[in-house]
Amino acid sequence: MDKELSSIHYDKYLQLNKILDAQKLRSEEFEKPAHDEMLFIIVHQVYELWFKEIIHDLNSVMDIFKPEIVEEKKIGIAISRLDRIAKIQKILVDQIDIIETMTPLDFLDFRNYLLPASGFQSFQFRQLEVSLGLKRENRISYTQCAYSGVFSQEEQDILHQIEAGDSMFGLVEKWLERIPFLKFEKFDFLTEYRKAVDKMITIEQEAINGADYITAQEKHFRLGMLTETNKYFQTVFDEDLHNQKVANGELKLSYKATISALLINLYRDEPILRQPFLFLQKLIDIDELLTSWRNRHAQMVLRTLGQKIGTGGSSGFDYLKKTADKHRIFYDLHNISTLLIPRSELPEMPESLKKKLNFNFSNKS
């Protein structure tokens, strides 16, 4: 039998007595009240609440992608949840403006009372990084100890469990690997794509060689740059080279998944590929916004602490700056843009394949 519906008061529903009773200023405890410690606590608490919502949404998207066959109608839900995460992240980046209203001297009024508390001990932040797909071996280490060493045994076990299971990156990779259409009847996507790339490169080389407004030296320089770009293309035409790059950590996404992501990006206007394209775009948004947050937080730390070491024992700004570059998760999806060719050069798909990629409902009998 359904539970009988009872009324509830706003205060009780939101458990405001707990939330609003959770700002205990250490500076007051030590009888040296520092005005800005309230802001410092509240901003961190708000972050942690948003982290909770992000993890809640991300887990639901991962659940959609766990089955062997992803229900197509759920991809729309996944896109809207990822979109929500990205919107929350924008607020997280903007919130740094608020913490920056606290000057370095204001912070020094209470910083000593926090030791050795640090953002390093944010379990939810680590949970989020690991769930997205940041691997232990790809982390920048700041001490001899593992990043998870600052947590209780129970929390460490949870992090290990997430690391051992499917991450968002891993699930997307498997899903991309399963995407059909790379070979369809006589259409072999890679062969056709290669022809189009060769044509595009020849056109670019001819344009540089034929330009009478640039010097021979400049031509030589530009042709050299073109050769560098072409090296990216070679990875797509050579599976072994790609695998080698994955093995040495230059790339993360598997060969098959990369080709599928390329196909989706190139033929994004085909109705059936539209949703997968938007889904990949949202992952790029999330990766980009997390990087923006890392950069913004590092800048704020530089402004507040200068070159002081962090309360968690890292080098502070230098460490944080490096994480912005190194802790990216969906870098390979950004990199697909290197491999794009103009729409006008896209290989024409056979009609039978186009039909498969279209919605074919018609009222005409």
Contacts with ligand HEM by CB under 6 A lie at: 43-44, 47, 99, 107, 118-120, 122, 125, 297, 301, 304-305, 310-314, 316, 319-320, 323
- Measured from the CB of residue 144, what is the shortest distance to ligand HEM in angstroms? 15
Is the Cβ of residue 111 or residue 242 nearer to ligand HEM in the bound state? 111
Is the Cβ of residue 99 or residue 159 nearer to ligand HEM in the bound state? 99
- Measured from the CB of residue 352, what is the shortest distance to ligand HEM in angstroms? 50
Stated length of the chain: 365
- Measured from the CB of residue 39, what is the shortest distance to ligand HEM in angstroms? 9
In the numeric block, which tokens belong to residue 279? 């889904």
Contact 287, 329 (CB under 8 A): yes
Is the Cβ of residue 82 or residue 150 nearer to ligand HEM in the bound state? 150
- Measured from the CB of residue 91, what is the shortest distance to ligand HEM in angstroms? 12
Is the Cβ of residue 163 or residue 204 nearer to ligand HEM in the bound state? 163
Task: For residue 252, count CB atoms less than 10 angstroms from its CB and return exposed for 0-12, middle for 13-18, buried for 19 or more.
Answer: buried
Is the peptide bond prior to 116 cis by the omega test (within 30 degrees of 0)? Answer: yes
Is the Cβ of residue 68 or residue 137 nearer to ligand HEM in the bound state? 137
Phi first, then psi, for residue 286 (nearest 5°) are -65, -45
- Measured from the CB of residue 157, what is the shortest distance to ligand HEM in angstroms? 20
- Measured from the CB of residue 95, what is the shortest distance to ligand HEM in angstroms? 7
- Measured from the CB of residue 41, what is the shortest distance to ligand HEM in angstroms? 10
Is the Cβ of residue 130 or residue 320 nearer to ligand HEM in the bound state? 320
- Measured from the CB of residue 311, what is the shortest distance to ligand HEM in angstroms? 5
Is the Cβ of residue 170 or residue 313 nearer to ligand HEM in the bound state? 313
Is the Cβ of residue 276 or residue 316 nearer to ligand HEM in the bound state? 316
- Measured from the CB of residue 252, what is the shortest distance to ligand HEM in angstroms? 18
Contact 65, 77 (CB under 8 A): no
Is the Cβ of residue 107 or residue 184 nearer to ligand HEM in the bound state? 107
**CA 289 to CA 35: how far, in whole Å?**
31
